[in-house]
Every structure is written in structure tokens, then in C-alpha cells.
Amino acid sequence: MNHDMIGHVYPPSKPYLVTSENISAFVKALGDSNPAYADGTVAPPTFPIVVTMNAMDAAFHDPALQLDYSRLVHSDQKFEYIRPIRVGDELTVSASVEEIKPLGTNEIATFKTDVFSGDELVVTGWSKIVVRGPEA
Amino acid sequence: MTLKISDVSVGQELPALDLAFTRSDLVAYANASGDQNPIHQDEAFAKSVGLPDVIAHGMLTMGRAIRVVTDWAGDPTAVIDYSVRMTRPVVVPKTVEGSVVSFTGKVAQINEDGTVQVELGAVFGDVKVLGLARATVRLAQ
């Protein structure tokens, strides 16, 4: 990967409108029967991945990053919540390259994803990826 | 029922959950999350890239593990941070039963600001599928 990209901030992603259908489909896929989700107004803690993963995909395919997508594994994920995501939120993601470093023959990179609803920061995600080096 | 901070002590174990992962769960999660990577649905493709079989999305495992905390706390919006390392994949055969992952949680620390740190476990067979899994919750006083 291109270490010059450390600190690079990608342009905000296209707005994503959170609907009760999106929330309910996500909750159903998790198999989560918590009554808090029954009316489809509040999203579960890992729901932000729906928008952060898309924003990172755009970054992963940026030729300037020189990342071999076929050798990429998502290894760590973290979220810090300012407030829960709710139906009606219009989410945009600002993704940035926080860290790129070697780990043996592999490389690891951390992407920070700030998720906004309008101008309000609602959750920050960090995704660590491992890009496997050439086989020995 | 909503849990209060006075109900919590360090070392306390949260009610554990055994959850099955089936192929149809993976299809539902792929559609709901937008992650259509074929390693999560296509057995021939998964094997062609050296996997034993189709594997679950790591983010599905993460999404299910936090249920130990949100079922216990009652209110899922009590979670203020959550992090995991996806150490090993959950392999999902094409059977009705699928693969069962055992999720556990334990109160690791009560912070000075009254928030509670929980350490989570996720084991498939005898393999730890999540590492460094922890969440912080803010409970009612």
C-alpha cells in the first residue's frame, strides 16, 4: 500500500436514508428479537457498517492507495456511538486512512469512518484490514 | 426490563446465548448489509479461495455477539462503544442446523463515570471466533 496516503480524507459518501424497512431487515438477519427494535425506529449497534463498508469500498478501490483487494481481510471493527442511528437519519460517511504499517510479510491498515446525519456526528467506526503479502 | 447500575458487579456473568448460523441467515445478512461477497454464499467459490466451506460474515458474528449485552441491558441504545477482532471464521455447512456459536459476556470493569465495560466471548466448537471483544454501556442510575 502507498504510505503517502496515511491521513488522506475521502470525500463524503452519497447520503443514505435510514428507513424502518432497512432497520427491520438488518434486525431480522441478526435474528434479534429485542422489543426495542420492534417498531423499526432505532438501529442496532452494528447497523452503521451498512454505510461505513460502502465508503471504505470506495477507498479500497482508489488506485492511489495501491491495495490488492483480492488479498484483503477485515480483521477488527470498532464503533464509538454519540447517539443511536434512527429512522429518518440521512447518513453520510467521511472515510480517512488512519494508519498503514507492515506486519511481517502482510500489511495492516486502519480506516476511520465518521458517520454524520446532516451535520451531526452520530457514530465513528474504525476498521482494521490485513492485506496478505505474497505466499512464501 | 431495564438494567440499573446498582444491579451490576465486577465479575458478573451475563446470560449466555447459543445461536445457530445457517446458510439462509447468511443470505439474509448479505441482503440486509449489502455485503454480497461470494465467500459467504457460494460454496464452490469459497473452496476455490482455500476456505473449507462458506463462512459467515464477520460482521454478522459481531452483530450477534452484542445481543449478550443488549438482551442483558434491555435498552440497546445503552451501548456507547463496541469493538471486536475477527480471529477465525464461522464455517457454515449446508445443513438445517447450521453452525452454533456460543456467546458469553462478563462485567470487566465499572468505570468512574458509571459506565460498565463488558468482555465478550464467541466460541464455535472449540475455536474462538472473536477476540478482544468488548463493549461499554451506560446504564440508568
**Predicted pLDDT of residue B141:** 79
Task: Inform me whether the C-beta atom of residue A57 falls under 8 Å from chain B C-beta atoms.
Answer: no
Domain of A26, in residue numbers: 3-131
pLDDT-derived band at A50 (thresholds 50, 70, 90) equals very high
Q: Is residue A136 part of a domain?
A: no
- The percent helix, strand, coil of chain B (3-state, each to 5) is 30, 40, 30
DSSP for A25-82, please give it.
HHHHHHT---GGGTTS-B--TTTTHHHHHHHHHHHHT-GGG---GGGEEEEEEEEEES
pLDDT-derived band at B104 (thresholds 50, 70, 90) equals very high
Nearest residue to A61 via CA among A127, A136, A135, A1: A1
pTM over 0.90, yes/no: yes
**Predicted pLDDT of residue A68:** 87
Q: Is residue A89 part of a domain?
A: yes
CA distances (Å), origin A38, targets A17, A24, A35, B19, B77: 19, 8, 5, 20, 14
pLDDT-derived band at B1 (thresholds 50, 70, 90) equals low
Phi-psi region of B41 (alpha: psi -120 to 50; beta: other; left: phi over 0): alpha
Q: Which of A28, A37, A74 sits opposite B86 (nearest CB)?
A: A74
CA dist A105 and A130 (Å) reads 11
Size of interface A-B (CB pairs under 8 A): 99
B9: closest CA of chain A, how far (Å): 23
Q: What is the dihedral of CA A50, A53, A55, A58, to 10 degrees?
A: -130
Name, in order, each residue with C-beta under 8 angstroms of B81's C-beta and a sequence gap of 6 or more.
A78, A79, A80, A81, B135, B136
Which CATH number fits the domain that encloses residue A13? 3.10.129.10
**Predicted pLDDT of residue A42:** 96
The answer to which of A25-29, A70-74, B20-24, B88-92 has the lowest mean pLDDT is A70-74
**Predicted pLDDT of residue A2:** 92
pLDDT at A79 over 70: yes
Taking CB atoms and an 8 Å cutoff, what residues of chain A touch B77? 36, 42, 83-84
pLDDT-derived band at B33 (thresholds 50, 70, 90) equals very high
Q: Is residue A71 part of a domain?
A: yes
pLDDT at B3 over 90: no
Q: Is residue A10 part of a domain?
A: yes
Q: Is residue A36 part of a domain?
A: yes
How many separate domains does chain A show?
Answer: 1
Q: Is residue A73 part of a domain?
A: yes
User: B110-122 pLDDT, tens per residue?
Assistant: 998 989 999 999 9
Tell me, what's the ipTM?
0.94
> What is the residue-averaged pLDDT of chain A?
94
Distance of CA B45 to the CA centre of its chain: 25
**Predicted pLDDT of residue B25:** 96
Nearest residue to A1 via CA among A136, A135, A129: A129
